[in-house]
Amino acid sequence: MPKFLHSVKLEQDKCLGCTNCIKRCPTEAIRVRDGKATIISERCIDCGECIRICPHKAKRASYDKFEIINDYKYKIALPAPALFGQFDNLDDIDLVLTGLIEIGFDSVFEVSRAAEIISEVTRRFFAERHKDGRRPGEHPIISTACPAVVRLISVRFPYLSDYLLPILAPVELAARIARAEAKKKHPELSDEDIGVFFITPCPAKVSYIREPIGVDSTAITGALPITDIYLRLISVMPHIKKSLPLSRSGVIGISWATTGGEAAALLHEKYLAADGIENVIRVLDEIENENFSGLDFIELNACSGGCVGGALTMENPYIAKARLQQLRKFLPFSQNTIEVDGEGEEHIEWSRQIEENRAMRFSDDKKTAIEMRVKMNNIAKSLPGLDCGSCGAPSCRALAEDIVRGEAYETDCIFRMKEKIQEIFRSIADIEHINLDK
Ligand code: SF4
Ligand code: SF4
């Protein structure tokens, strides 16, 4: 399995082995061994849950340093729509976009613009799909805008891979259009001269740039966190006398920042939108069990509230959402269509399907996998079933899995350890008793 360049990192010297994080990880990717957490790299989907929960700040997201933009002759900022929800009383997106120019970018391209194009392409995708009427047994399509959800599916729900919407994420399309526009405007620039930087709300999108989904390579150069850019912007925005007329986003694009925005943009009522990793898992379980009939589209966001709830944002997601609702009052419905892109729909589709992540499989050999699973189930039954986490695994079943994989011992369970010690004492006592009787 290829090594994945994760954006979520563990600083082991800060870890106190408290086990708070192990139960929150949706892919059971964390273990505490010898008093320190470790992340099973192949399983981590960079959702950022462990960053939020760690009380000792031992987990952090890695991203680019702002100064990296200076390595490029022409610097483009791609602000996520969640950025606009960070500012109090903002009634003009142009103020934020002008601020981005003030802090050093040469141009800006709002990701919400590309989101409006993706919404249109998705509407056409559904119109095409249902051209001859809905077919019996037709499954719903799952959004692919949240990379943590797509990776979660590849790790825990590989059978749902065929349900994924095979269309570019808005940030990828934004980067492609912004690059093309820059080259048109400045023909003297080469691709290497242009730096395209996503202002990201979450670590999962940093990982997307390092390991793109659905495409072989990305047009994005790097990722800068909203937390960093926000602090730079608030120092320049109060001094902007007149903002530049840069924004070309509408309600449709800005709404993608919060849960339900992408689904509502389909102008279609047969959808479900859920957020928060635990709810996402519940919905995926239900889809796998075919409990959702009659739905066309499922929008899933790993973070509560949607992208406004990302681990790299400043503001409470519900406050950010309320601010975006206010801001939408000043915007037109939509300002971007596929014609703006001019490249045609085929360039907006995935060029590569996602592969199953085999990290949770026991073996590619079916017989071996079944044997190991039976063994795991038997060991799990013999454990106390308290899921206390004191063994360093998130549940008794996870410890049983680790034992079968040869990565843990039954005596890692403190209850089993206690039983073993009692057995040893009993044996010693028996021996002494025999000796005493002699
Ligand atoms: S939450 Fe996890 S990473 Fe943080 S201190 Fe506890 S065990 Fe270590
Ligand atoms: S980022 Fe998410 S998947 Fe990765 S270790 Fe943390 S909680 Fe688990």
Does the pLDDT of residue 134 top 80, yes or no?
no
Residue 374 CA to ligand 2 centre (angstroms): 27
Residue 20 CA to ligand 1 centre (angstroms): 6
Q: Are strands 74-79 and 107-108 parallel, antiparallel or unpaired?
A: parallel
> What confidence score (pLDDT) does residue 40 get?
95
Number of domains in the chain: 3
Same domain assignment for residues 28 and 120: no
Same domain assignment for residues 17 and 122: no
User: In angstroms, rounded to a whole number, what is the distance separating the alpha carbons of residues 256 and 115?
Assistant: 7
Residues in the chain: 438
Same domain assignment for residues 367 and 428: yes
**pLDDT bracket for residue 89 (50, 70, 90):** confident
pLDDT (tens digit per residue) in 289-302:
888 778 899 999 99
Higher-pLDDT residue of 12, 135: 12
pLDDT (tens digit per residue) in 48-84:
999 999 999 999 999 999 999 999 999 999 999 999 9
Q: Whose CA is nearest to atom 1 of ligand 1?
A: 54
What CATH number does residue 28 fall under? 3.30.70.20
Same domain assignment for residues 196 and 314: yes
Which residue segment(s) compose the domain that 381 sits in?
363-438
Residues 223 and 68 sit within 8 Å (Cβ to Cβ): no
Domain edge (last residue) among 11, 42, 62 = 62
* Stretch 214-229: mean pLDDT: 96
User: In angstroms, rounded to a whole number, what is the distance separating the alpha carbons of residues 357 and 152?
Assistant: 9
Residue 57 CA to ligand 1 centre (angstroms): 8
* Stretch 212-220: mean pLDDT: 94
Same domain assignment for residues 8 and 122: no
Residue type, 43: R
* Stretch 143-150: mean pLDDT: 97
Ligand nearest to the CA of 49: 2
Same domain assignment for residues 248 and 186: yes
Residue 395 is encoded by which pair of tokens?
A: 């549940």
Residue 17 is encoded by which pair of tokens?
A: 């082995």
**Is residue 45 assigned to a domain?**
yes
Q: Whose CA is nearest to atom 2 of ligand 2?
A: 47
Q: Among 5, 19, 49, which residue has the most ligand 2 atoms within 8 Å of its CB, making it the best to mutate?
A: 49
Q: What is the pTM of this model?
A: 0.91
Same domain assignment for residues 33 and 71: no
Of the candidates 288, 105, 306, the one whose C-alpha atom is nearest the C-alpha of residue 196 is: 105
Same domain assignment for residues 10 and 99: no
pLDDT (tens digit per residue) in 152-198:
999 999 999 999 999 999 999 999 999 999 999 999 999 999 999 99
Give the residues across from 195 on adjacent strands.
75
Q: Whose CA is nearest to atom 6 of ligand 2?
A: 50
Q: Whose CA is nearest to atom 8 of ligand 1?
A: 15
* Stretch 368-374: mean pLDDT: 96
Same domain assignment for residues 123 and 170: yes
Cβ neighbour number for residue 37 with a 10 Å cutoff: 27
**Is residue 144 assigned to a domain?**
no
Of the candidates 38, 63, 121, the one whose C-alpha atom is nearest the C-alpha of residue 344 is: 121
Domain edge (last residue) among 11, 31, 62 = 62
Helix (H) or strand (E) holding 300: strand 297-301
- Percent of the chain scored above 90 by pLDDT? 79
Output the average pLDDT for the chain. 92
> What confidence score (pLDDT) does residue 108 get?
98
Ligand nearest to the CA of 10: 1
Higher-pLDDT residue of 130, 299: 299
User: In angstroms, rounded to a whole number, what is the distance separating the alpha carbons of residues 141 and 396?
Assistant: 34
Same domain assignment for residues 313 and 429: no
User: In angstroms, rounded to a whole number, what is the distance separating the alpha carbons of residues 304 and 277?
Assistant: 8
Q: Whose CA is nearest to atom 3 of ligand 2?
A: 44
Q: Are strands 59-61 and 36-39 parallel, antiparallel or unpaired?
A: unpaired
> What confidence score (pLDDT) does residue 436 get?
47
Same domain assignment for residues 50 and 84: no
Does the pLDDT of residue 96 top 60, yes or no?
yes
Same domain assignment for residues 246 and 368: no
Ligand 2 binding residues, C-beta < 6 A: 8, 24-27, 29-30, 39, 44-50
* Stretch 213-218: mean pLDDT: 94
> What confidence score (pLDDT) does residue 431 get?
79
Higher-pLDDT residue of 344, 104: 104
Does the pLDDT of residue 341 top 70, yes or no?
no
**Is residue 147 assigned to a domain?**
no
| Cβ contacts of 20 within 8 Å, gap of 6 or more | 53, 54, 55
Higher-pLDDT residue of 307, 91: 307
Q: Per residue in 310-340, is it b (16+ CB within 10 Å) or e — as a string?
A: bbbbbbebeebbebbeebbeebeebbbebee
**Is residue 103 assigned to a domain?**
yes
Q: Whose CA is nearest to atom 4 of ligand 1?
A: 54
> What confidence score (pLDDT) does residue 43 get?
94
| Strand, helix or coil for residue 246 | coil
Q: Among 9, 36, 39, which residue has the most ligand 2 atoms within 8 Å of its CB, making it the best to mutate?
A: 39
Residue 16 CA to ligand 1 centre (angstroms): 6
Does the pLDDT of residue 372 top 60, yes or no?
yes
**Is residue 121 assigned to a domain?**
yes
Q: Which numbered atom of ligand 2 lies nearest the CA of 40?
A: 5
**Is residue 410 assigned to a domain?**
yes
Domain edge (last residue) among 325, 348, 371 = 348
**Is residue 155 assigned to a domain?**
no
**Is residue 296 assigned to a domain?**
no
